[in-house]
């Protein structure tokens, strides 16, 4: 799609503002300040009547924040005059469009919101002396803002779509032989432990479900997305649910030996069927290395928006939580200055290995750039994530990093932790984790700080 330049947009907005009388501009400005709250309330009342929009706006904190943001936007837009600098105004509309794309708000909802604003303005201006002129001006302002938002939305959405497809292919193919062996081993380990626990007389409520196991976390958060659309994916999902909701609950202590043996045989057969379907899925895969950080072989930040949006949607749909750990190497510049950039690269490679080995199969580890890393811990609350973060910090602190020429080095890391709060915009969560990391640095480094 051909993008309209900022200069052209400014010219079009100036034409509108110059052609509008001072009295209409002043009346519209006063109207915006007087009725911003009522316009925002009307907007969100209509949005909540839509099932899709309600999912995005149902969180109380989101509504409170968005309502105040909407009021500021209305006041700013309705107060424009021909003497204003329009560049920041247009930049704001582009930013809003980017956010809409990032949290996947459908375009029709944005357009409906614009219609609601114009209809509500018409009702509130019913007895105004310059009703027709003000309404025409407001409609033009809203339409032009929507045009800029839509252009930014389309560009961002195209970029996100390309990244999603690229990530899907990458997540299927990255080191597939190793991943297949790892997940088969995880599945077998769960089955062996479940059989042992049942033999020891544990009640089904004490058994670790397959969906909560290492294999289950990997499949729900990575495998199901990577192999989306394959029939085997649906079969594996259905089998996991059958094991967790039917077979395990039936393994009660009062079952007679024959029933118990039949249930155990069924459990084994269901696990074997998962292994069979998993083999078929991986057999369809060829090696693909795009999307990997060249130095550390971790995911690069290109796929972070895709992964975060996926996890946010999962958390909201299933009433789950997840946490971000933003990790930064303390005094990394000193390593480069004292030992050279090769030593810095080796340090980052060893740290990447520590971080990868210190998380579960379903978690994600990214290199954000330089000496900064990010971990996304799935299906976890802050209280448990703090323990994970502290474990990682201790692992790094006691590790000897081996540099070229036989030199060894000790390093520390600072970690900022933020738990998903329900807000659909991933940037909000990233900002909170970054703020927590900044606090950790301010506290003297080598510590974990949790976002408010």
The 448-450 sheet, strands edge to edge: 299-300, 364-369, 372-377, 323-329, 413-419, 448-450
Position 250 scores a pLDDT of: 84
Taking each helix axis from N to C end, the angle separating 131-173 and 304-318, rounded to the nearest 10 degrees, works out to 100
- Which of these, 270, 327, 321, 292, lies nearest to 441 by C-alpha position? 327
Is residue 183 domain-shared with residue 93, that is, in the same domain?
Answer: no
User: Do the domain assignments include residue 388?
Assistant: yes
Is residue 241 domain-shared with residue 329, that is, in the same domain?
Answer: no
Is residue 11 domain-shared with residue 139, that is, in the same domain?
Answer: yes
Q: What percent of the chain has pLDDT over 70?
A: 89
Residue 149 sits in a domain whose CATH number is 1.10.490.10
Domain ends where: 164, 189, 207?
A: 164
pLDDT of residue 75 exceeding 90: yes
pLDDT of residue 142 exceeding 70: yes
Is residue 24 domain-shared with residue 81, that is, in the same domain?
Answer: yes
User: Do the domain assignments include residue 1?
Assistant: no
Provide the domain limits for residue 36. 6-164
Is residue 33 domain-shared with residue 116, that is, in the same domain?
Answer: yes
Residue 430 sits in a domain whose CATH number is 3.30.70.270
pLDDT of residue 406 exceeding 60: yes
Mean pLDDT value across residues 262-289: 80
Q: What is the mean pLDDT of the chain?
A: 86
Domain ends where: 138, 164, 190?
A: 164
Is residue 441 domain-shared with residue 329, that is, in the same domain?
Answer: yes
User: Do the domain assignments include residue 336?
Assistant: yes
Give the number of other CB atoms < 10 A from CB of residue 68: 13
User: Do the domain assignments include residue 245?
Assistant: yes
Domain ends where: 164, 189, 222?
A: 164
User: Do the domain assignments include residue 407?
Assistant: yes
Q: pTM of the entire structure?
A: 0.60
Q: Give how many domains the chain has, as a whole number.
A: 3
Is residue 45 domain-shared with residue 124, that is, in the same domain?
Answer: yes
pLDDT of residue 174 exceeding 60: no
Is residue 329 domain-shared with residue 352, that is, in the same domain?
Answer: yes
């Amino acid at each position: 799609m051909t993008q309209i330049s900022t200069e052209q947009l400014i010219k079009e907005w100036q034409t509108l503002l110059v052609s509008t009388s001072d009295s209409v501009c002043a009346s519209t400005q006063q109207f915006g300040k007087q009725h911003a709250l009522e316009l925002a309330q009307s907007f969100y009342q209509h949005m909540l009547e839509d099932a899709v929009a309600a999912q995005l706006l149902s969180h109380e904190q989101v509504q409170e924040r968005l309502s105040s943001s909407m009021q500021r936007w209305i006041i700013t837009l309705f107060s424009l005059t021909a003497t204003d600098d329009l560049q920041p105004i247009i930049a704001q509309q582009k930013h809003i469009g980017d956010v809409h794309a990032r949290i996947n708000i459908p375009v029709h909802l944005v357009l409906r919101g614009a219609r609601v604003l114009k209809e509500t303005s018409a009702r509130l201006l019913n007895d105004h002396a310059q009703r027709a002129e003000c309404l025409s001006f407001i409609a033009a302002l809203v339409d032009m803002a929507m045009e800029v938002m839509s252009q930014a939305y389309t560009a961002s959405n195209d970029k996100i779509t390309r990244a999603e497809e690229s990530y899907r292919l990458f997540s299927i193919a990255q080191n597939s032989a190793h991943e297949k062996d790892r997940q088969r081993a995880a599945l077998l380990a769960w089955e062996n432990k479940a059989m042992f626990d049942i033999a020891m007389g544990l009640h089904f409520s004490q058994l670790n479900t397959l969906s909560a196991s290492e294999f289950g976390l990997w499949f729900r958060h990575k495998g199901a997305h990577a192999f989306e659309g394959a029939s085997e994916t649906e079969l594996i999902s259905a089998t996991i649910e059958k094991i967790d909701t039917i077979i395990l609950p039936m393994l009660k202590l009062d079952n007679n030996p024959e029933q118990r043996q039949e249930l155990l045989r069924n459990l084994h057969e269901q696990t074997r069927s998962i292994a069979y379907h998993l083999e078929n899925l991986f057999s369809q895969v060829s090696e693909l290395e795009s999307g990997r950080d060249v130095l550390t072989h971790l995911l690069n930040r290109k796929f972070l928006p895709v992964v975060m949006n996926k996890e946010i949607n999962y958390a909201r749909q299933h009433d789950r939580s997840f946490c971000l750990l933003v990790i930064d190497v303390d005094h990394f510049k000193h390593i480069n200055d004292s030992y050279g950039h090769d030593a810095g690269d080796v340090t980052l490679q060893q740290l990447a290995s520590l971080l990868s080995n210190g998380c579960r199969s379903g978690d994600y580890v990214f290199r954000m750039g330089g000496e900064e890393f990010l971990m996304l811990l799935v299906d976890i609350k802050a209280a448990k994530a703090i323990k994970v973060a502290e474990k990682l910090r201790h692992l790094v602190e006691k590790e000897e990093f081996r540099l070229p020429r036989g030199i060894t080095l000790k390093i520390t890391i600072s970690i900022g932790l933020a738990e998903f709060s329900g807000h659909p915009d991933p940037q909000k969560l990233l900002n909170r984790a970054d703020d927590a990391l900044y606090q950790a640095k301010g506290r003297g480094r080598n510590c974990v700080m949790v976002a408010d």
